[in-house]
Amino acid sequence: MTEIIFLGTSGPYPSRESDNTAFLVAFGSVKCLLDCPGSVVRKMLQVGADPLEVGHLFLTHAHTDHIYGLPSLVHSLMLRRHLIRVYGSDEALETAAGLLDFFRLREDRYRTRVELVEAASGATVQPAPGLSVDFLKVPHHGSSLALSFTFAGKRIVISGDTPPCPELFEWARGADVLVHDCAGPSRFFELYPALRSRHTDALALGEWSARAGVGLLVPCHFLAELDFDREEVEREIRRNFSGDLHMPRDLERLAVG
């Protein structure tokens, strides 16, 4: 079974109900962590997942709220013999290495080891038999990559943070699930125009997803510091998008297929 577990669904500023965006994706017995903000070990335990079963971490980009928990993850498992392969762009891996080395977490005294695996737009990796992961550059940040996971005939595309990117929506055509940046309703993008170059608003997400024929759309990375509720996001997406829509909550599971 393929399953997405939402460890967090908010942007840099968490709320009482939601933490920074991160996902645990289970492809049968293979479990992958997508992005690594704080307390991921605790959240994995809350959903009944063994952190030692997670051997693959994919970094969408090098911004603080997506990477700052990496030293804590390794430190938490320091007494356990374990290998974590960390995949990302060269810039994301440079940041990851800097964080690990600042805390000396790659010294031999730590039993959990980290292997850095560079990925670039257009590349494909196979972290486990039957699982392939493709990468596409998106314009949020110089280190940003969207990810496409294919396993057992199912395909999940995760945008990471990004403004609307036509290449991404075309790339996601035919996917079973698109998990996409959705910072909030479009009225905030009128109020704060700088958001347009970094994130996607709900109205634009609905428009682009409808054009791309997205099957199941999952908006995520809500900016909790802005004053809106998720019902407003859903209403705005629905102005143009009539496909399946799932509004995620923290620690919730979503079966794919």
Q: Domain locations in the chain?
A: 2-256
pLDDT tens sequence across 229-242: 999 999 999 999 99
71 is written with which tokens?
A: 């030293």
pLDDT at 57 over 90: yes
- Helix axis angle for 202-212 and 230-237, nearest 10°, is 40
pLDDT at 88 over 90: yes
Identify the pLDDT of residue 257.
82
Residue 180 CB burial class (10 angstroms; 0-12, 13-18, ≥19): buried
Whole-model pTM: value is 0.98
Task: Give CATH superfamily name and number for 2-256.
Answer: Ribonuclease Z/Hydroxyacylglutathione hydrolase-like (3.60.15.10)
Mean pLDDT of 243-252: 98
pLDDT tens sequence across 170-193: 999 999 999 999 999 999 999 999
Distance CA 33, CA 58 (A): 6
Identify the pLDDT of residue 178.
98
The SS3 call for residue 142 is coil
Q: What is the mean pLDDT of the chain?
A: 97
Comparing CA positions, the residue from 164, 249, 172 lying closest to residue 206 is: 164
Residue 160 CB burial class (10 angstroms; 0-12, 13-18, ≥19): buried
Identify the pLDDT of residue 157.
98
